[in-house]
């Protein structure tokens, strides 16, 4: 079953390569969507794919990047799937 999630990630997540890391992890788990920095210092993510890949992806974002520090993840299930072809980072 495919699902789509919207995340707001707080912590030391800007200026440390976190968007690139997020894109790398999403690609690793076969997920699609996007990631971008927000003006308030957080990072916004929308990710879509097989539900069984989501928890490992979320865990990787929280623990696998040695330069970033994730303090909190606000997670929300999004109703509509967009069926994107890849995972990209945006401005």
Q: State the catalytic residues.
A: 19, 37
Residues 85/34, Cβ–Cβ less than 8 Å: no
* Residue 86 C-alpha from the chain's centroid: 13
At residue 50, the 3 state secondary structure works out as strand
């Amino acid at each position: 079953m495919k699902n789509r999630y919207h995340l707001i990630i707080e912590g030391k997540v800007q200026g440390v390569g976190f968007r690139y890391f997020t894109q790398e992890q999403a690609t690793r788990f076969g997920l699609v969507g996007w990631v971008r920095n927000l003006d308030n210092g957080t990072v916004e993510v929308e990710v879509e794919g097989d539900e069984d890949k989501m928890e490992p992806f979320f865990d990787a974002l929280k623990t696998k990047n040695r330069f970033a520090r994730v303090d909190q993840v606000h997670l929300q299930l999004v109703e509509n799937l967009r069926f994107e072809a890849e995972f990209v980072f945006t401005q």
